[in-house]
């Protein structure tokens, strides 16, 4: 009976403390911490000869006023905001607006739509960001398989029920694949402690998504999806998500992936030619290597400040897709490489801050989802910059928050919202999420 009274006293104290703590997700963690501390204090009093009831009472009394203790915990377990990422993102959106306004002044038809559409879709993207930011990402992890199949279904509907082709490719695949990257991170975590069987299952999920990118076809979506998945899988294995897995088997997965993806490339003469032109675009400067050669010529002839010309032609006359896929190249050609490099430095700062926020995540599912969202955004930036500097073969990527395009902007705002949603709950989410 006495033991029941003492345990009730501890329970009442813990209950009073938890009343002051806003986030219920940390109640279990704090309750255990308080009980353990009370037990330690109680043990000291028992050694001094006090009865169990008195020892418990003294231990609780030493803990202090439960209301004050609860308020202290509530201050500790508060949502966190990564202001530097928010400020850099806002700066990039502003730069994107200036670029679209500048493009609009250069064109009489498409350019007008460029800035007017930008003004319309930016508020929508901000609303999407806010929704994801205040959204509890643990739900996203728990239901990752359902979300995955929903996105696959939407992709297939786009294939067979609607005409979503643009320039011979189903454009919606590229945008939906961005969302599939963090979804795959949740899928990977859902197979925790399953060993090699868990890796096999998660690989099947990736395989279906990669196949849809192949038949779209969308090389950029396939490259980014594959690189991101392999990095997330490697991180998951390193953190012991699947249990005790020998890490030296991972190169076998990398090799298998490259072989599977390399077969369509090797059996298609056009794709094989494009791959060859990546390393020697000058071999066919007027054909498969035209874009990369043109970009290289524009970059090498650019000035520190001011417009450059290739012979007697303007950049608008020789560079296709200068309003979208090559807007950075266009900007360097029109106003100089110093402003262009400034934008690149800002983009690199964003990548650095995003990865810094990821490294602060101690629990594994948060780390994986944040890492995936970060890879999706950073991957687009890296590939876009490399393409716009003529360092790799042209791939159709969107420059997050800067390039023209409603779908790309909204998808990246959703990814950024998800990343900061994870950071916001750094200290207030438990490790395990039930499926």
pLDDT mean values, one per 10 residues, the chain (435 residues):
63 82 74 84 82 83 81 75 92 90 67 74 94 88 92 86 69 88 94 89 92 86 92 90 75 78 60 60 62 83 81 74 81 88 94 93 90 95 91 82 88 95 77 49
Strand-pair partners of 382: none
pLDDT of residue 283: 58
d(CA 238, CA 421): 24
d(CA 101, CA 111): 8
pLDDT of residue 277: 60
d(CA 277, CA 169): 21
pLDDT of residue 435: 46
Distances 182 to 179, 316, 359, 368 between C-alpha atoms, Å: 6, 37, 16, 8
**Beta-carbon count within 10 A of 141 CB:** 24
432 Cβ partners below 8 Å, 6+ apart? none
* Pair 127, 134: CB distance under 8 Å: no
**Beta-carbon count within 10 A of 311 CB:** 8
Distances 386 to 277, 286, 292, 379 between C-alpha atoms, Å: 15, 21, 11, 11
pLDDT of residue 379: 94
pLDDT of residue 164: 66
pLDDT of residue 286: 59
d(CA 232, CA 321): 32
pLDDT of residue 428: 67
pLDDT of residue 5: 53
What element of type H or E holds 170? strand 169-170
pLDDT of residue 43: 83
d(CA 342, CA 305): 12
Tokens of 156: 């297939």
pLDDT of residue 12: 82
The pTM (predicted TM-score) of the whole model is 0.82
d(CA 355, CA 371): 7
The helix/strand/coil state of 146 is helix
d(CA 332, CA 383): 17
Q: Which residue has the tokens 């192949």?
A: 214
d(CA 200, CA 2): 54
pLDDT of residue 124: 94
- Of residues 165, 184, 161, the one with CA closest to residue 173: 165
pLDDT of residue 126: 94
d(CA 302, CA 310): 9
């Amino acid at each position: 009976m006495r033991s029941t009274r003492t345990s009730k006293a501890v329970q009442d104290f813990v209950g009073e403390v938890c009343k002051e703590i806003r986030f219920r997700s940390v109640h279990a963690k704090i309750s255990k911490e308080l009980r353990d501390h009370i037990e330690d204090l109680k043990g000291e009093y028992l050694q001094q000869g006090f009865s169990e009831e008195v020892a418990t009472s003294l231990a609780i009394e030493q803990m202090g006023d439960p209301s004050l203790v609860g308020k202290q915990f509530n201050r500790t377990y508060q949502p966190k905001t990564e202001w530097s990422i928010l400020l850099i993102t806002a700066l990039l959106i502003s730069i994107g607006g200036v670029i679209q306004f500048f493009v609009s002044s250069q064109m009489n038809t498409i350019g007008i739509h460029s800035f007017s559409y930008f003004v319309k879709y930016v508020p929508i993207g901000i609303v999407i960001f806010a929704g994801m930011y205040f959204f509890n990402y643990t739900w996203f992890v728990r239901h990752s398989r359902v979300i995955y199949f929903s996105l696959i279904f939407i992709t297939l509907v786009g294939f067979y029920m609607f005409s979503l082709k643009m320039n011979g490719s189903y454009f919606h695949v590229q945008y939906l694949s961005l969302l599939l990257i963090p979804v795959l991170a949740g899928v990977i975590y859902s197979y925790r402690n399953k060993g090699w069987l868990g890796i096999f299952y998660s690989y099947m999920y990736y395989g279906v998504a990669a196949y849809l990118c192949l038949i779209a076809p969308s090389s950029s979506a396939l490259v980014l999806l594959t690189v991101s998945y392999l990095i997330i899988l490697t991180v998951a294995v390193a953190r012991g998500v699947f249990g005790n897995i020998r890490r030296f088997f991972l190169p076998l997965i990398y090799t298998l992936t490259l072989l599977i993806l390399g077969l369509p490339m090797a059996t298609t003469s056009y794709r094989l030619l494009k791959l060859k032109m990546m390393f020697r675009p000058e071999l066919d400067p007027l054909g498969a290597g035209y874009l990369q050669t043109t970009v290289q010529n524009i970059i090498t002839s650019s000035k520190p400040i001011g417009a450059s010309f290739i012979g007697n032609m303007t950049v608008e006359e020789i560079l296709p897709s200068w309003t979208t896929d090559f807007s950075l190249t266009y900007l360097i050609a029109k106003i100089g490489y110093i402003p262009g490099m400034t934008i690149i430095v800002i983009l690199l700062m964003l990548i650095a801050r995003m990865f810094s926020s990821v490294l602060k995540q101690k629990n594994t599912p948060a780390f994986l989802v944040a890492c995936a969202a970060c890879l999706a955004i950073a991957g687009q930036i890296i590939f876009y910059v490399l393409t716009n500097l003529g360092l790799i073969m042209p791939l159709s990527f969107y420059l997050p928050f800067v390039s023209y395009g409603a779908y790309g902007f909204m998808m990246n705002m959703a990814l950024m919202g998800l990343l900061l949603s994870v950071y916001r709950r750094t200290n207030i989410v438990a490790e395990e999420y039930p499926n």
